[in-house]
Amino acid sequence: MGAKANLVNDPETILSGNDSVVIRQYNGGITGGRTLDMTGFEGPIKSGHLVIRVLDEDNVNYTYKPMPVRGENYGSLPANHEYAGVVVASKPNDYPLVGIMDDGRVNDEAMPYQFADSTQRAAVKAALPNLIFEHD
């Protein structure tokens, strides 16, 4: 008898919510996406969430993480980290395989968290000049 495979997947909840509202226009991103290190992050990772990265100890590869949050705003950028883009589609915390957009339009009012202040917003715009944060 030949090889067998289970064609029935376990049911899962789709967390699409505001995905189509947050990402207004996708022009480009990190090819193949990345798996996020969700250490210390609670809940699902939602579309539009800022993604940061830090060089591994080998100084060759990056570890990608969700931007820390504080209440309803983004927290401070951790030391040695840099902005990488925004999450394209919502994913559960235990399955953080995400597309990361670094070129396109984001509805900033529909993002899951808001910029802490104008300084943080300016820093993100300087690091990711091809991302446009706008709203109606």
7 is a domain residue: no
CATH number of domain containing 111:
2.40.300
Collapsing DSSP states into helix, strand and coil, what is residue 85? Answer: strand
Taking the alpha carbons at both ends of the chain, their separation in whole angstroms is 60
Alpha carbons 98 and 35: distance in angstroms, whole number: 6
Is residue 12 scored above 90 in pLDDT?
no
9 is a domain residue: no
CB 133 within 8 A of CB 104: no
80-132 pLDDT, tens digit each: 999 999 999 999 888 899 999 999 999 999 999 999 999 999 999 999 999 99
Query: In total, how many domains does the chain have?
Result: 1
Instruction: Specify the pairing of strand 73-74 against strand 50-55.
Output: unpaired
1 is a domain residue: no
pLDDT attached to residue 65: 97
Mean pLDDT of 30-52: 94
Domain boundaries, position 97: 19-134
Tokens 């597309």 correspond to what residue?
Answer: 99
CB 24 within 8 A of CB 103: no
Is residue 5 scored above 70 in pLDDT?
no
10 is a domain residue: no
26 is a domain residue: yes
Confidence of residue 136 (pLDDT cuts 50, 70, 90): confident
